């Protein structure tokens, strides 16, 4: 099945496909998606530089996957709940999570950098596919509460090979939980290509579990937005849980500890560079005359201001208090933990 596409790499909009989608596509939407993509990419680039300078211990780039994240996160309500993976910085930034919160975990200052309930956006999950089970459990809960909240969870193609993913798909389908599984199929599970991971399309596997599955061009933010919104509304109205396979490409390495040139060719990267999601949206804005040069100049300035904010935020991340290890082990600090913490603090104080 050919992935659904509304805007081609040259920025040409298929108006018939858009009209058949039944969801209005206009300049306001395109500019919003483009802004989220540009700001997310600038944050990503700055964080990468900070890691190379030794200011972050690790960083997992979202370079090349901006359309998949911007299109999907804008297609849900603010009250809908998100369970991300670990490279969903574009989605997190769009949800109002600060640059410092997005960096704190990667500087080693915390295990969970923001309050999930403040943004309806859970903390990052570094264990592959674990967030899928969390998402299904949460979705079962909101259904029991009588809420019309829909849960969206992000993951990569590699995560689908984990047993947790199969369990989550099956449990969601059996319980008809209001969850949308959003797979960013970026071509690689670290150094393992998709053809070495599975023999058939992921949408076919998802349909086998009883999920409402669709395949979309993950570098086309408009197509991602339309298809995600359609899937979310079907789920919200009581339909089967949904699965969206967004075909995209991880332009950088799996993480800053990874050298992708060891396992993939320059030619493959060059091909996907010609499909760049940010360039595609910029071309669309020009073709449809939905943005003038003043808009692009202003956005470029906003992106550079965000980069400066990101640097300052990183340098001002407070060092963690190791005493919190004792306070946070259990919901309430027990007398034994309190005693251990006091002894630790006395020991630490002896070095001052």
| 3-state helix vs strand vs coil in the chain, percent to 5 | 50, 10, 40
Place of tokens 């299109």: 71
> What is the pTM assigned to this prediction?
0.95
pLDDT of residue 19: 83
Tokens representing 348 are 């630490």
Q: Count CB atoms within 10 A of the CB of residue 167.
A: 14
CA pair distance 286, 132, nearest whole angstrom:
38
State mean pLDDT over 196-220.
Answer: 96
pLDDT of residue 249: 97
pLDDT of residue 83: 98
Tokens representing 215 are 């395949």
Q: Is the dihedral of CA 29, 211, 90, 263 positive or negative?
A: negative
pLDDT of residue 22: 82
State mean pLDDT over 104-122.
Answer: 95
pLDDT of residue 336: 96
- In sequence order, what are the residues at sequence separation of 6 or more whose Cβ sits closer than 8 angstroms to the Cβ of residue 85? 124, 125, 131, 154, 155, 156, 159
Please state the domain extents for the chain: 15-320, 322-352
CA pair distance 59, 86, nearest whole angstrom:
9
pLDDT of residue 18: 85
Whether 17 contacts 3, CB under 8 Å: no
Indicate whether 68 pLDDT > 90.
yes
**Residues taking part in catalysis:** 250, 254, 263
CA pair distance 196, 157, nearest whole angstrom:
11
pLDDT band at 170 (very low <50, low <70, confident <90, very high): very high
Residue 12 sits at φ, ψ, to 5 deg, of -85, 125
243 strand-pairing partners = 181, 213
Whether 240 contacts 210, CB under 8 Å: yes
CA pair distance 320, 108, nearest whole angstrom:
8
* Residues 7-59: tens digit of each pLDDT: 999 999 999 888 887 889 999 999 999 999 999 999 999 999 999 999 999 99
Tell me what the pLDDT averaged over the chain comes to: 96
pLDDT of residue 75: 98
Sheet holding 242-247, edge to edge: 81-83, 151-156, 179-185, 242-247, 212-217
pLDDT of residue 82: 98
SS3 state at 211: coil
The CA R_g of the chain, rounded to the nearest whole Å, is 21
* Residues 326-351: tens digit of each pLDDT: 998 898 999 999 999 999 999 999 99
Indicate whether 152 pLDDT > 90.
yes
DSSP label at residue 114: S
Instruction: Choose among 177, 171, 179, 149: nearest CA to 244.
Output: 179
CA pair distance 51, 56, nearest whole angstrom:
4
CATH topology of domain 15-320: Rossmann fold (3.40.50)
* Residues 265-324: tens digit of each pLDDT: 999 999 999 999 999 999 999 999 999 999 999 999 999 999 999 999 999 999 988 888
Indicate whether 122 pLDDT > 90.
yes
Whether 276 contacts 37, CB under 8 Å: no
214 strand-pairing partners = 244
Instruction: Choose among 62, 56, 60: nearest CA to 38.
Output: 62
């Amino acid at each position: 099945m050919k992935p659904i596409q509304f805007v081609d790499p040259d920025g040409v909009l298929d108006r018939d496909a858009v009209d058949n989608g039944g969801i209005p596509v206009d300049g306001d939407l395109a500019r919003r998606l483009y802004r989220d993509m540009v700001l997310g990419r600038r944050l990503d680039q700055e964080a990468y530089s900070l890691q190379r300078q030794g200011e972050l211990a690790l960083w997992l780039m979202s370079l090349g996957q901006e359309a998949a994240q911007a299109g999907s996160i804008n297609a849900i309500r603010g009250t809908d709940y998100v369970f991300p993976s670990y490279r969903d910085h574009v989605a997190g930034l769009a949800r109002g999570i600060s640059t410092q919160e997005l960096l704190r975990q990667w500087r080693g200052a915390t295990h969970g950098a923001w309050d999930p309930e403040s943004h309806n956006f859970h903390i990052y999950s570094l264990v592959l596919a674990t967030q899928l089970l969390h998402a299904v459990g949460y979705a079962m809960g909101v259904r029991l509460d009588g809420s019309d909240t829909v849960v969206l969870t992000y993951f990569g193609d590699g995560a689908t090979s984990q047993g947790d993913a199969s369990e989550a798909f099956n449990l969601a389908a059996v319980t008809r939980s209001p969850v949308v599984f959003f797979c960013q199929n970026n071509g690689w599970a670290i150094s393992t290509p998709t053809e070495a991971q599975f023999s058939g399309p992921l949408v076919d596997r998802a349909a086998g579990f009883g999920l409402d599955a669709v395949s979309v061009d993950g570098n086309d933010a408009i197509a991602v937005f339309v298809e995600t919104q359609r899937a979310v509304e079907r789920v919200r109205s009581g339909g089967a849980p949904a699965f969206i396979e967004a075909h995209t490409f991880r332009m950088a390495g799996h993480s800053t500890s990874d050298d992708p040139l060891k396992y993939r060719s320059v030619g493959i990267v060059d091909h996907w560079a010609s499909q760049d999601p940010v360039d595609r949206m910029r071309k669309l804005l020009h073709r449809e005359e939905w943005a003038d040069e003043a808009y692009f100049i202003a956005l470029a300035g906003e992106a550079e201001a965000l980069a400066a904010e990101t640097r300052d935020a990183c340098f001002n991340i407070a060092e963690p208090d190791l005493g919190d290890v004792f306070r946070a082990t259990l919901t309430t600090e027990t007398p034994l933990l309190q005693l251990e913490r006091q002894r630790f603090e006395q020991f630490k104080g002896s070095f001052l």
